[in-house]
């Protein structure tokens, strides 16, 4: 049997031995368990079994599948303490980050897709557009692709892992999920929940393994949903292109917040602190940079700094114990330290935080930076941690120009009491999504497609697009009544050709005649 990756180089969370992966609690440094580092053959076997189970799952129909999803919702609610405990111990996130983001998203999503999948995937009747398809019945069908491979990251072990499996399953696919090797236990727990909820055997598998395990899914599945870094996303897309299978990618982000001079400063400052620091800032759509109008810059910076200084950070110990948890992945610490050091060297003021916390566990203090600009890495590269750099701008136009000066385009926000003005500014932002007077909550608006542009991704989750992507379309044209011979049938006859020619000239030549008249 060939193991896919045989190194033990990865320190801390996700350390890999030949056939097992150690999982660490980043808030304490303790190893909480091991999961198998599956071989290529073992993963291929799971895909094969999933493929064999898929037709039976599809045949259950929307209602049969919805029953399993609703039972799973109930299971998560009943087992939420265990789910939260698993999330907290493998990622170091707070109780509230686990409950209000991961658990809430999963139960909301299970109900949403159980209810909406049938509506989004029912046959669409297409109206004929001209005499060329007149009298035909035109239907567009959605069929499951077969086996969907979901490759997930470590920052949201449920939302961005199991979360994407829900619409894929509701569409009638079997799914093989490869969670990040850093946080695999939450996905294994979801598999246990699905089994207890009545999911037929082999419809859902979790393939634990190192990065190469993701590559085995790309080699064997019929479609890939990937969430993670832009660098790996590009590799996945290239590999998928060789097999001509579809991919949907949600990648890195550098989400801008634009605060105009007429914004509700108190709300904007509270939101900046919440959405830059919750989940330790390890959210693809967290606020990563702020542009504030010069008239209110000092007041905004002061408010934000004051609020950030009050946040409690440390080992999560139940509800309300801390506001900010640990840095899940060791490599992220190096990025944070490098970005903050670079900003400091280039003249930024560090108003609070700015360093790794002493003592046990892996923590980086919530950090507010002022007097930053685009010569600094912290304003241009994804930092993915609890940092909040705030830049002064002259006006709205400069804010938009700087917000768009980025290879990324995931989420974004614009803040002003003048909602019409803010919406106008929002429309100029180059991003897959923009909130006005809010941030991040659009991820919970499941009816609205969410996805990145530029280097932030391809495709979308949520809304009709978020489930139709797990299907191949099948267009059917039905001719119910027809003559024995249509005018274009072989063999060609001059008289019929002339008739068709006149028809073409009549239909398509009239506009020109009218214009020249």
- Which secondary-structure segment (H or E) carries 235? helix 230-243
284 catalytically annotated: yes
Cis peptide before 19 (omega within 30 of 0): no
Interface residue with ligand NDP among 252, 325, 354, 409 (CB under 6 A) is 252
250 catalytically annotated: yes
Hunting for tokens 């120009």 — which residue is that? 401
Q: Is 250 in the site for ligand NDP (CB under 6 A)?
A: yes
Quick note: the x/- pattern for ligand NDP over 462-491, rule CB under 6 A, is ------------------------------
**What is the rounded CA–CA span in Å between residue 259 and residue 293?**
6
* Catalytic-labelled residue, pool 58, 250, 288, 455: 250
Longest Cα–Cα distance in the chain: 92
3-state class of 125 per DSSP?
strand
**What is the rounded CA–CA span in Å between residue 289 and residue 309?**
18
**Whose Cβ is closer to ligand NDP: residue 86's or residue 232's?**
232
**What is the rounded CA–CA span in Å between residue 291 and residue 300?**
11
Q: Is 229 in the site for ligand NDP (CB under 6 A)?
A: yes
Q: Is 340 in the site for ligand NDP (CB under 6 A)?
A: no
CB of residue 164 to ligand NDP, shortest distance in Å = 11
Interface residue with ligand NDP among 210, 223, 225, 414 (CB under 6 A) is 210
Cβ-proximal residue to ligand NDP, closest one: 214
Interface residue with ligand NDP among 69, 121, 251, 467 (CB under 6 A) is 251
**Lookup: tokens for 139:** 């239907």
Size of the site for ligand NDP (CB under 6 A): 28
Q: Is 364 in the site for ligand NDP (CB under 6 A)?
A: no
**Whose Cβ is closer to ligand NDP: residue 228's or residue 432's?**
228
Q: Is 384 in the site for ligand NDP (CB under 6 A)?
A: yes
**Whose Cβ is closer to ligand NDP: residue 145's or residue 247's?**
247
**Lookup: tokens for 489:** 């049938």
Write out 408-420 in H/E/C secondary structure: EECCCEEECCCHH
Q: Is 232 in the site for ligand NDP (CB under 6 A)?
A: yes
Q: Is 180 in the site for ligand NDP (CB under 6 A)?
A: yes
Contacts of 17 (CB under 8 A, 6+ apart): 8, 37
Backbone angles phi, psi at 363, to 5 degrees: -130, 145
* Catalytic-labelled residue, pool 165, 221, 284, 471: 284
CB of residue 405 to ligand NDP, shortest distance in Å = 19
Quick note: the x/- pattern for ligand NDP over 398-437, rule CB under 6 A, is ----------------------------------------
**Whose Cβ is closer to ligand NDP: residue 66's or residue 151's?**
151
Q: Establish how many alpha carbons lie within 13 A of residue 227's alpha carbon, considering only the half-sphere containing its beta carbon.
A: 27
Cβ(260)–Cβ(396) under 8 Å? yes
Q: Where are the alpha helices (DSSP H) in 253-394?
A: 265-277, 297-309, 330-345, 377-380
- Which of 259, 294, 261, 293 is CA-nearest to residue 273? 259
Q: Is 92 in the site for ligand NDP (CB under 6 A)?
A: no
Residues 129-168 that bind ligand NDP (CB under 6 A): 151-155, 160
Q: Is 248 in the site for ligand NDP (CB under 6 A)?
A: no
Q: Is 227 in the site for ligand NDP (CB under 6 A)?
A: yes
Cβ(325)–Cβ(97) under 8 Å? yes
Residues 295-334 that bind ligand NDP (CB under 6 A): 332
- For the chain, the residue count is 517
Angle of CA points 164, 125, 487, to nearest 5°: 130
Hunting for tokens 């700015």 — which residue is that? 354
Q: Is 451 in the site for ligand NDP (CB under 6 A)?
A: no
Q: Which residues are catalytic?
A: 250, 284
Q: Which residues are at the interface with ligand NDP (CB under 6 A)?
A: 14, 151-155, 160, 178, 180-182, 210-211, 214-215, 227-229, 232, 235-236, 250-252, 284, 332, 382, 384
């Amino acid at each position: 049997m060939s193991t896919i990756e045989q190194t033990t180089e990865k320190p801390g969370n996700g350390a890999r031995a030949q056939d097992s992966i150690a999982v660490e609690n980043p808030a304490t440094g303790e190893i909480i368990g091991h999961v198998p580092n599956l071989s290529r053959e073992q993963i291929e076997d799971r895909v094969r079994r999933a493929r064999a189970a898929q037709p039976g799952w599809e045949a259950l129909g929307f209602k049969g599948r919805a029953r399993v999803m609703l039972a799973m919702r109930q299971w998560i609610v009943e087992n939420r303490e265990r789910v939260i405990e698993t999330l907290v111990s493998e990622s170091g996130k707070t109780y509230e980050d686990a409950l209000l983001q991961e658990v809430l998203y999963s139960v909301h999503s299970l109900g949403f897709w159980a209810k909406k999948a049938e509506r989004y995937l029912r046959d669409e009747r297409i109206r004929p557009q001209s005499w060329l398809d007149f009298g035909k019945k035109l239907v567009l069908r959605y069929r499951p692709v077969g086996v969907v491979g979901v490759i997930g990251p470590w920052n949201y072990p449920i939302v961005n892992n199991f979360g994407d499996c829900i619409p894929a399953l509701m569409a009638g696919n079997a799914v093989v999920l490869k969670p990040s090797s850093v946080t695999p236990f939450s996905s294994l727990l979801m598999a246990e929940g699905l089994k207890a909820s009545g999911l037929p055997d082999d419809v859902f598998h979790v393939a634990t393994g190192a990065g190469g395990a993701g590559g085995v899914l790309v080699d064997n599945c019929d479609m890939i949903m990937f969430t993670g870094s832009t660098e790996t996303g590009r590799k996945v897309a290239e590999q998928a292109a060789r097999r001509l299978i579809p991919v949907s990618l949600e990648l890195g982000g550098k989400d801008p917040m634009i605060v105009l001079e007429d914004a509700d400063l108190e709300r904007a400052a509270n939101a900046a602190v919440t959405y830059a620091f919750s989940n330790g800032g390890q959210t693809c759509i967290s606020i990563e940079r702020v542009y504030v109008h010069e008239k209110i810059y000092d007041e905004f910076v002061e408010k934000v700094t004051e609020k950030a200084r009050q946040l409690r950070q440390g080992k999560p110990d139940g509800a309300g114990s801390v506001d900010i948890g640990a840095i899940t992945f060791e490599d992220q610490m190096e990025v944070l330290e490098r970005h903050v050091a670079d900003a400091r060297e280039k003249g930024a003021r560090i108003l609070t935080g700015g360093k790794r916390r002493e003592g046990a566990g892996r923590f980086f203090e919530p950090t507010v930076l002022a007097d930053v600009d685009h010569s600094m890495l912290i304003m241009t590269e994804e930092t993915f941690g609890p940092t909040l750099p705030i830049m002064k701008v002259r006006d709205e136009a400069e804010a938009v120009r700087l917000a768009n000066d980025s290879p990324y385009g995931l989420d974004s926000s614009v803040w002003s009491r003048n909602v019409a003005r803010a919406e106008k500014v929002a429309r100029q932002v180059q991003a897959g999504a923009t909130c006005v007077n809010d941030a991040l909550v659009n991820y919970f608006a499941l009816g609205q497609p969410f996805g990145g542009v530029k280097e932030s991704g391809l495709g979308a989750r949520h809304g009709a697009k978020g489930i139709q992507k797990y299907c191949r379309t099948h267009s059917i044209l039905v001719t119910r009544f027809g003559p024995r011979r249509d005018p274009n049938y072989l063999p060609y006859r001059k008289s019929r050709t002339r008739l068709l020619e006149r028809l073409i000239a009549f239909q398509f030549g009239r506009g020109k005649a009218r214009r020249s008249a």
